[in-house]
């Protein structure tokens, strides 16, 4: 039986949890397909890619991915203040709302979350929601395609 290696397209069932056990994502929900990606292509976080490499079809394991191999540390400089006047006029902001903010001219929009606000400003957090967290994954390799 061959092991998954860089360049293979793999199909994986996963459940992602925080270290306190809270589930943040799973492919095992009804109506969801397994995750399919090319190992080594950079489409998943580095620790996930590394964990799948070397697995064989049917193998399962539980791994912990440290912050630096997941979404990186939280960065305070990614929390920005914006004037409410910069928001769409028909939008009534609430803490926890997610918006898309345009980056530079040739950059894709970035999701930001409203984390604080007052009468004139809103604070927008551009950190990934899992930044600064170690992640625990239950993995099952379902298929390897060349």
CATH number for the domain including 111? Answer: 2.40.10.330
Q: How distant, in Å, are the alpha carbons of 87, 89, 120, 143 from that of 83? A: 8, 12, 6, 50
Q: Are residues 13 and 64 in the same domain?
A: yes
Q: Are residues 13 and 68 in the same domain?
A: yes
Q: Are residues 112 and 97 in the same domain?
A: yes
56: three-class secondary structure by DSSP: strand
Is 14 contained in some domain? yes
Q: Are residues 58 and 90 in the same domain?
A: no
Q: Are residues 42 and 68 in the same domain?
A: yes
Q: Are residues 110 and 43 in the same domain?
A: no
Q: Are residues 35 and 52 in the same domain?
A: yes
So what's the pLDDT on residue 106? Answer: 86
* Tally of domains within the chain: 2
Beta carbons of 52 and 10 less than 8 angstroms apart: yes
- pTM as predicted: 0.84
Q: Are residues 86 and 113 in the same domain?
A: yes
Beta carbons of 124 and 99 less than 8 angstroms apart: yes
Q: Are residues 80 and 68 in the same domain?
A: no
Is 1 contained in some domain? no
Q: In this structure, how many other beta carbons lie within 10 angstroms of the beta carbon of residue 120? A: 9
Domain range for 39: 9-72+130-145
> CA 99 from chain center: how many Å?
16
Q: What tens-digit pLDDT sequence spans the chain (146 residues)?
A: 799 999 999 999 999 999 999 999 999 998 899 999 999 999 999 999 999 999 999 999 999 999 999 999 999 999 999 998 888 888 889 999 999 988 778 888 989 999 999 999 999 999 999 999 999 999 999 999 97
Residue 31: give its domain's CATH number: 3.10.50.40
Q: Are residues 96 and 139 in the same domain?
A: no
Q: Are residues 63 and 134 in the same domain?
A: yes
């Amino acid at each position: 039986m061959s092991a998954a290696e860089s360049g293979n397209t793999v199909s994986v069932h996963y459940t992602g949890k925080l270290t306190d056990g809270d589930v943040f994502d799973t492919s095992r929900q009804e109506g969801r397909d397994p995750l399919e990606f090319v190992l080594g292509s950079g489409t998943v976080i580095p620790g996930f890619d590394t964990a799948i490499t070397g697995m064989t079809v049917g193998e399962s394991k539980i791994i912990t991915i440290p912050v630096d191999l997941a979404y990186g540390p939280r960065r305070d400089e990614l929390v920005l203040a914006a004037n409410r006047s910069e928001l769409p006029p028909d939008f009534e902001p609430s803490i926890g709302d997610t918006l898309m903010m345009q980056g530079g001219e040739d950059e894709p929009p970035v999701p930001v979350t409203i984390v604080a606000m007052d009468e004139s400003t809103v604070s927008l957090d551009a950190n990934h929601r899992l930044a600064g967290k170690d992640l625990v994954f239950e993995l099952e390799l379902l298929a390897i395609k060349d």
